[in-house]
């Protein structure tokens, strides 16, 4: 079934936040002497966020702090090595100021920064999100403290270890014949449609999650699905796992109330709708956009970026 579905590896690298060039260097996370030397190294770089979780940029490039700008007592977590340059997440800005910086959200970073910098920020933000929630042990209520260069939390009372969590979610473009299934939630901006998505539940395979979500949200039976690509989505801790699925039939029943509308769109209907402004697809930031892009190209030879450029207000 997957003859025209293209290379997953190539597609995955195009997903925003998926292009991390930093080597995580996990084997050094418990080496205190190595960490101290790296922290003080002249080529060390520190990623920072402000209290609103925004990152500093200048001319659409990420601004780093170097070791001279970072107080010796400031808490920092090792993100890894960029070539031979150690990269850290600085936990708070303290008294450090960046007068010329423009502070932007991670979503804006995904649209504006080079892919490797957006990927690094997503990694740093995901780790910081987890650390921010690690105050008390979920087992005994004791105080937690970070160990392993910020990648583990240990309980001071029961010594239990806590690990960063990632929440897998499936996202799927469902096709039947010459059309694909897109849906919209009532809270979205008008005329926006997206691929269907939902969190994976305990004890569930990814394929079963695809079948369940499509059935629950649209009442459509999936008979087959193939993996496409993945995208880190640290808002706060998701990993989006993209699939292309085939439906048994086109009848739609909005079963669980999550969607306000779901429809089958042919490639031409997507093109016409986007050009006229009757249809908005998700941001190019999202794997939803990449799945629709992939489907249009594979099924109709249409390049979504070119169509989107012709949209009103694009
Ligand atoms: Zn505990």
Say if 26-132 and 166-309 have the same CATH topology: yes
| Distance of CA 154 from the midpoint of ligand 1 (Å) | 8
Instruction: Tell me the per-residue pLDDT of 49-58, one tens digit each, with 9 for 90 and over.
Output: 999 999 999 9
Instruction: Tell me the per-residue pLDDT of 152-178, one tens digit each, with 9 for 90 and over.
Output: 999 999 999 999 999 999 999 999 999
User: How far is C-alpha 164 from the chain's CA centre?
Assistant: 15
Instruction: Tell me the per-residue pLDDT of 268-288, one tens digit each, with 9 for 90 and over.
Output: 999 999 999 999 999 999 999
| Distance of CA 133 from the midpoint of ligand 1 (Å) | 15
φ/ψ bin of 203: left (φ > 0), alpha (ψ from -120 to 50), beta (otherwise): left
Instruction: For residue 192, give the DSSP letter.
Output: B
| Selected residue with higher pLDDT from 4 and 313 | 313
| Distance of CA 162 from the midpoint of ligand 1 (Å) | 9
What residues does 65 pair with on adjacent strands? 46
Locate the domains of the chain by residue range: 26-132, 166-309
3, pLDDT greater than 90: no
Average pLDDT over residues 107-127: 96
| Distance of CA 202 from the midpoint of ligand 1 (Å) | 23
Q: Report the percent of the chain where pLDDT is more than 70.
A: 96
Paired tokens of 152: 């583990």
Average pLDDT over residues 12-32: 92
Average pLDDT over residues 189-196: 96
Is the domain spanning 26-132 CATH 1.10.760? The answer is no
Rg (CA), the chain: 22
| Distance of CA 104 from the midpoint of ligand 1 (Å) | 37
How far apart (Å, rounded) are the C-alpha atoms in residues 307 and 265? 15
How far apart (Å, rounded) are the C-alpha atoms in residues 258 and 214? 11
Looking at domain 166-309, what is its CATH homologous superfamily? Nucleoside Triphosphate Pyrophosphohydrolase (3.90.79.10)
102 by Cβ neighbours in 10 Å (0-12 / 13-18 / 19+) ranks as: middle
| Distance of CA 127 from the midpoint of ligand 1 (Å) | 21
């Amino acid at each position: 079934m997957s003859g025209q579905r293209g290379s997953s590896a190539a597609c995955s690298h195009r997903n925003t936040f998926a292009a991390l060039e930093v080597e995580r260097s996990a084997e050094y996370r418990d080496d205190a002497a190595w960490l101290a030397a790296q922290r003080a190294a002249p080529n060390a770089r520190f990623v920072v966020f402000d209290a609103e979780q925004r990152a500093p940029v200048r001319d659409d490039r990420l601004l780093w702090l170097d070791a001279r700008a970072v107080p010796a007592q400031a808490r920092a977590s090792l993100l890894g090595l960029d070539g031979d340059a150690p990269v850290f997440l600085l936990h708070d800005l303290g008294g450090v100021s960046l007068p010329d910086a423009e502070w932007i959200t991670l979503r804006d970073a995904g649209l504006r920064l080079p892919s490797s910098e957006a990927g690094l920020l997503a990694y740093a933000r995901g780790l910081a999100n987890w650390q921010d929630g690690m105050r008390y042990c979920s087992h005994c209520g004791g105080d937690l403290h970070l160990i392993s260069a910020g990648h583990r939390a240990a309980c001071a009372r029961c010594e239990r270890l806590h690990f960063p969590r990632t929440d897998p979610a499936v996202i799927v473009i469902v096709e039947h014949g010459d059309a694909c299934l897109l849906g919209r939630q009532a809270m979205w901006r008008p005329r926006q449609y997206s691929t269907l998505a939902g969190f994976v539940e305990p004890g569930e395979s990814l394929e079963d999650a695809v079948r369940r979500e499509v059935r629950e949200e649209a009442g459509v039976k999936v008979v087959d699905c193939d993996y496409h690509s993945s995208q880190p989505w640290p808002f706060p801790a998701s990993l989006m796992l993209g699939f292309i699925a085939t439906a048994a039939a086109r009848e739609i029943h909005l079963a669980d109330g999550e969607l306000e509308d779901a429809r089958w769109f042919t490639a031409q209907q997507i093109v016409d709708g986007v050009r006229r402004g009757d249809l908005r697809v998700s941001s190019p930031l999202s794997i939803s956009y990449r799945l629709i892009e992939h489907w249009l190209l594979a099924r109709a030879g249409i390049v979504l970026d070119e169509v989107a450029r012709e949209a009103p207000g694009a």
